[in-house]
């Protein structure tokens, strides 16, 4: 898998607080071109803390981070994992996963795929994911989301409903999923994940919204 190759950096304001409080400090983030997708194994901890924070208003979070694990079950069980990052321009992370990582689906095998994403798919990506699942009935996708992207919009709600109809299991990330991602996909330098103060309340908020959306089918 390709590692990060383009590392022009810029200073941005970022929320970062190990004790759960919102601090503001300068950190370096990758300055991506308009059509660049980045693949990797472990992301910097400040990316995760900022991009996956489940705030209702996600100002400045204009990327999608997609952490994935693939279990291929057949004569032998194989597993792979990593993450994909986009800039919400050009190809989105969800499409990049199917274009660059999970390119072929062997009909004789069963696949269990789990995504943990910083934001739920846009309407176009939801449609593409549903199409992929319809082509590959032996693929079982579970999608954990930190935030719901523009959940008030009818086309976004329809996209989530379309995913559910295609067999995708939709879930909101809770503390246990954050801890799993922290230990699996983050270069955490041996530090334990420290939840922010309102993580649980925000998860419950999004869980309620997702339930409302999926019930109105």
Give catalytic residue positions. Answer: 94
Cβ distance 126 to 160 under 8 Å? Answer: yes
Cβ distance 117 to 168 under 8 Å? Answer: no
What would the 3-class secondary structure string for 62-95 be?
Answer: CCCEEEEEEEEECCCCEEEEEEEECCCCCCCHHH
Q: Which phi and psi (to 5°) does residue 46 adopt? A: -70, -25
Give the CA distances from residue 57 to residues 32, 53, 113, in Å, rounded to whole numbers and listed in that order. 23, 10, 28
Interatomic CA distance for residues 87 and 90, integer angstroms: 8
């Amino acid at each position: 898998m390709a590692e990060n190759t383009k590392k022009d950096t810029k200073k941005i304001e970022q929320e970062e607080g190990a004790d759960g409080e919102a601090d503001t400090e300068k950190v370096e983030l990758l300055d991506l071109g308009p059509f660049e997708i980045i693949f990797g194994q472990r992301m910097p901890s400040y990316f995760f803390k900022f991009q996956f924070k489940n705030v209702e208003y996600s100002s400045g979070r204009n990327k999608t981070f997609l952490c994935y694990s693939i279990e291929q079950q057949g004569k032998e069980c194989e597993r792979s994992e990593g993450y994909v990052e986009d800039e919400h321009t050009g190809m989105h992370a969800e499409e990049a996963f199917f274009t660059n990582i999970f390119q072929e689906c062997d009909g004789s095998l069963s696949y269990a795929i789990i995504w943990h994403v910083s934001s739920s798919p846009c309407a176009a990506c939801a449609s593409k994911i549903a199409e992929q699942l319809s082509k590959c009935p032996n693929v079982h996708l579970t999608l954990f989301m930190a935030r719901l992207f523009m959940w008030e919009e009818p086309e976004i709600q329809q996209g989530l409903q379309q995913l559910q109809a295609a067999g995708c299991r939709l879930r909101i990330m809770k503390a246990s999923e954050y801890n799993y991602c922290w230990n699996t996909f983050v270069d955490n330098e041996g530090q334990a994940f420290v939840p922010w103060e309102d993580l649980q309340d925000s998860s419950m908020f999004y869980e309620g919204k997702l339930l409302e959306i999926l019930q109105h089918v």
